Amino acid sequence: MPGSMRQRGEGSWNLRVYAGRDPVTGRKVSVERTVRGTKREASKMLAAMVAEVDRRPLVSAGKGTVAQLCREWLAHATPSFSPKTVETTRMYIEDPIIPLIGSMLVAKLAPSDLDRFYRQLLEVGRSRGPYAPATIRRVHGIIRRALAQGVRWGWIVHNPAVDASPPRVPMKELKPPDPGQVVQLFHLAQESDPELATFIMLAASSGARRGELLALRWSDLDIDRGTLSVERGIVMVDGKLIEQGTKTHQSRRISLDAGTASALEEHRERMIDRARVAGSVLAADSFVFSHPGDGSSAWHPDSTSRAFRKISRQAGVTGIRLHDLRHYVATRLLASGVDVRTVAGRLGHRNPSTTLNVYSHFVPEADQEAAEALGRIFEDAARLTHD
């Protein structure tokens, strides 16, 4: 079957494969996909799409079910998703989407059907009880994307999910630790677990995600220059630890303060000594946080969080999660007057608006400084006018 490839931008390609005509409507049907990479990589993906379309029977317009569309869409989107995203998306498709609305015809699906579905999840749920609004929004996002693909494939003319009304997600009250609590955790960890202390210090100075810190290798660090490259993350998929790209699929470089760089240097000396005792060598691609002497495997995410909770209980600092160190970095920087674009870059947010949406109410100090600055400008202008 013929296919076409069109460049959309730097390293971005639009692939289209003609999939024949719908036997009911007679309309041409095409399968489209946007991929990133080199021209050669895009050509390979196009060939794979042609083979996929060749194997797949065409679903007649009006005959496809929600279950068919969701599964077809996920198979189509899988190459563009991280393994963790594929696992999570498949979980929501198989339960609750397919058991509750999977048998409905896509062509007859109305916004009211989706609203009833969301209300059922909110009020009754499934075997584990009612769903939280945030979870329902994730389910809605999957349905909306699958139906959008259905529009492109010619299964339907309009996406009913666009007009649906999933429940609003109330803004969570963030309670990041204060600087005194972070220092307290660090000092206590220094006494009992110096490696964990280094991890806490790096988390509280970089703002990186847990999986990003665990995926760090020594080659990602330039301690002399005080920089850290965040290239990937570690996640659990099907009970196994795997490395994948960052959450936003973008790498970033973070500057380190002198204290954190020094702590990492001490940590590296400890790891070199451990490798020597184990009869191995600490290689450049060894994990920064690793239990084996040669640094061949990373700390487990859940074990790291448990170690943090344990040290928090010992320090009497309750109600704080490891992820709250990321919130600590964001709120402290914004309150100190650091511009939001810089903060977003440090956190790895694709768009500064994400940073503002989450942390805007944590900048009272900066807002007060802005008010005082405007007041001074007015007073100066008034004094000049009076003079």
10 Å Cβ neighbour count for 371? 10
3-state secondary structure of 217: strand
The single-letter DSSP state of residue 131 is P
Structural domains in the chain, sorted by start: 1-46 (no CATH), 59-170 (1.10.150.130), 179-324 (1.10.443.10)
Phi, psi of 274 (to 5 degrees): -65, -45
Scan for tokens 């060939």, then name that residue: 47
pLDDT of 369 above 70: no
> What percent of the chain is modeled with pLDDT above 70?
91
Distances (CA, A) of 213 to 56, 272, 273, 278, 343: 41, 19, 22, 24, 18
Write out the DSSP string of 62-124.
TT-BHHHHHHHHHHHHGGGS-HHHHHHHHHHIIIIIHHHHTTSBGGG--HHHHHHHHHHHHHT
- Helix orientation angle between 352-359 and 324-335, rounded to the nearest 10 degrees: 100
Residues 6+ apart with CB under 8 A from 299: 199, 214, 287, 289, 290, 291
The pLDDT-based confidence of 32 (bands split at 50, 70, 90) is confident
Q: Provide the pLDDT for residue 90.
A: 96
Chain segment 276-313, per-residue pLDDT in tens: 999 999 999 999 999 999 999 999 999 999 999 999 99
| Cα separation, 302 vs 238, whole angstroms | 14
| Residue 199, C-beta contacts closer than 8 angstroms, at least 6 positions apart | 213, 289, 299, 304
pLDDT digits (tens, 9 = 90+) for 213-246: 999 999 999 999 999 999 999 988 888 899 988 8
Tokens linked to 45: 């993906």
| DSSP category for residue 126 | B
